[in-house]
Amino acid sequence: MLRFKIFSFILTAFISLNVFGQNETNGLVNWISIKEAQELNKTAQKPFLFDFYTDWCGWCKHMMRTTYSNPNIAAYINQNFYPIKFNAEGKDTIEYNGKVYKPISREPKTPHEFALKMLGQQLSYPSTIFVTNNFEYTLLSQGYMEEKKLEPLLVFMVENVWRTITFDDFNKNFTRTFYDTVFSKKPVKLYTFQEVEKLQKKKPKKVLFHISSSFCNSGKVMQKTTFVDSAVAKIINEKFYLVEFNVEMGDTISFKGEKHFKALINNFPMHTLAFKLSNNRFSLPSLCFLDEQMNTIDVLNFYYSPETLKPVLLFYGDNHFKTKKWPEFYKEYTDKVKK
């Protein structure tokens, strides 16, 4: 059965596999030690994925045979994370983020100090913990996870969605995008860069550039849920020209006397216009707000939900940014919403 998947930079669909006979110890993930992960992170930073397991945990082994034996899931984890398996009842002394953790007892089925540190009193297995590369943010998910449940967690961490929204809010819109597409939405008008340049001479408006790519999954969630939210779409259609800009596009574009094109940047082909519009504050995804003269006003990095984007659209669309600072405007906005 063909089914849409999200974790391939080239393919968007694959044949759903029932994987049997895979190694119930490791699956297809290239697990490394805590020491190795921290050493590698010093030169090439990635988030950590911890799998806390025990030798007697049947669901831990089942997750290895199924979810972690899915070739697409495993490939995405291997490329974007430092994956670490940790025996929550192991007897090794380990060092993590500058602190040493030891086994509490040599007796069997005794939790390790590190398991207590990361899981607290919620000693349930398997437990999956995601940690950012600078140890700034930690996210815990407990119990067996099929691929459908694990996918949004992976995207949430890799694409820095945690910086702008809670996982529960992101997961709701992720599910709407890739699985449950039946929800209320309003059409939003999209324009090309060339169309906007012509329209600015006849009917000037501010421009909202959504910079994304075919492999940016949080960008897809914004396309499929944020921009078509009824309240958000109404504001965009009235006050902005919305341009979906794919950094992988190959067209040469002239903008303000300069030619912009796809070039190899950090070993990946990306369009240089994305850097121009974002004032070199580019990330995936990014929202660039331009005025009627096509000058960049501001840039928002990472994912924005309908609820978080709406006040920003009003702030710039109604020109509040010319007379107020964002904190002042946002307080007034939230006070009105509460009434």
What is the pLDDT at residue 46? 97
**Rounded distance, CA 15 to CA 60, Å?**
25
Say how far apart CA 337 and CA 339 lie, in whole Å: 6
**Separation in Å, CA 78 to CA 7, 51, 65, 272:** 12, 14, 16, 29
Instruction: From 111, 112, 107, select the one nearest 94 (Cα to Cα).
Output: 112
What pLDDT sits at residue 84?
98
Burial 221-238 (b: 16+ CB within 10 A, else e): bbbbbbbbbeebbebbee
Q: Which two tokens stand for residue 105?
A: 């007892």
Q: What sign has the CA pseudo-torsion 218, 219, 222, 223? A: negative
Question: Cα Rg for the chain, rounded, in angstroms?
Answer: 23
211, 134: one domain = no
- CATH of residue 294's domain is 3.40.30.10
Is the domain of 196 the same as that of 103?
Answer: no
Task: Identify the pLDDT of residue 8.
Answer: 41
For tokens 């398997």, the residue is 126
Give yes or no for residue 263 having a pLDDT over 60. Answer: yes
Cβ atoms of 101 and 94 closer than 8 Å: yes
pLDDT at 42: 96
Both tokens of 121, joined, read 């009193």
Question: 28-72, pLDDT tens digit by residue?
Answer: 999 999 999 999 999 999 999 999 999 999 999 999 999 999 999
163: in domain: no
What's the CA gap between 93 and 109, in Å, rounded?
16
Same domain, 195 and 128: no
User: Tens digit of pLDDT for each residue in 97-150?
Assistant: 999 999 999 999 999 999 999 999 889 999 999 999 999 999 999 999 999 999
| Boundary of a domain, candidates 158, 177, 211 | 158
Domain assignment present for 310: yes
Note whether 322 and 238 are same-domain residues: yes
> In the chain, which ranges are continuous DSSP H helix?
34-41, 58-65, 71-80, 113-119, 147-158, 167-178, 193-202, 217-221, 230-239, 273-277, 306-317, 326-338
- Mark whether 292 and 219 lie in a shared domain: yes
The count of domains in the chain is 2
- Could you tell me if 148 and 202 lie in one domain? no
Q: Are residues 138 and 194 in the same domain?
A: no
Residues of the chain with pLDDT > 90, as a percent, come to 87
Same domain, 236 and 144: no
Looking at residue 167, its pLDDT comes to 98
The secondary structure of 120-149 as a DSSP string is TT---SSEEEEE-TTS--EEEEES---HHH
Q: What 3-state DSSP class applies to 9?
A: coil
Domain C-terminal end among 158, 182, 217? 158
Residue 181 belongs to a domain: no
> Is there a domain that residue 22 lies in?
yes
242 contacts 210 by C-beta, under 8 angstroms: yes
Q: Does residue 219 fall inside a structural domain?
A: yes
197 and 53, same structural domain?
no
Poorest-confidence range of 16-25, 66-75, 87-96, 322-331? Answer: 16-25
pLDDT interval class at 5 (50, 70, 90): very low
Task: With respect to residue 41, please indicate whether it lies within any of the assigned structural domains.
Answer: yes
**14 and 144 together in one domain:** yes
Chain-centroid distance of CA 171 in Å reads: 11
Distance (Å, rounded) from C-alpha 312 to C-alpha 236? 11
Mean pLDDT of 219-244: 97
On whether both 251 and 334 belong to a single domain, the answer is yes
Residue 21 has pLDDT above 80, yes or no: no
Banded model confidence at residue 183, pLDDT cuts 50, 70, 90: confident
Distance separating alpha carbons of residues 50 and 53, to the nearest angstrom: 9
Cβ atoms of 235 and 202 within 8 Å: the answer is no
Predicted confidence (pLDDT) per residue in 154-168, tens digit: 999 999 999 999 999
Percent helix / strand / coil, the chain, rounded to 5: 35, 25, 40
Q: Could you say which DSSP state residue 224 is in? A: I
Does residue 164 fall inside a structural domain? Answer: no
In a domain, 86, yes or no: yes
What sign has the CA pseudo-torsion 48, 213, 208, 166?
Answer: negative
Tokens 């025996």 sit on residue? 87
Judgement on whether residues 30 and 134 belong to the same structural domain of the protein: yes
Residue bearing tokens 């940016």: 216
Q: What is the pLDDT of residue 265?
A: 85
Domain region containing 146 = 2-158
Query: What confidence score (pLDDT) does residue 133 get?
Result: 95
What is the Cα–Cα distance from 336 to 325, expressed in whole angstroms? 17
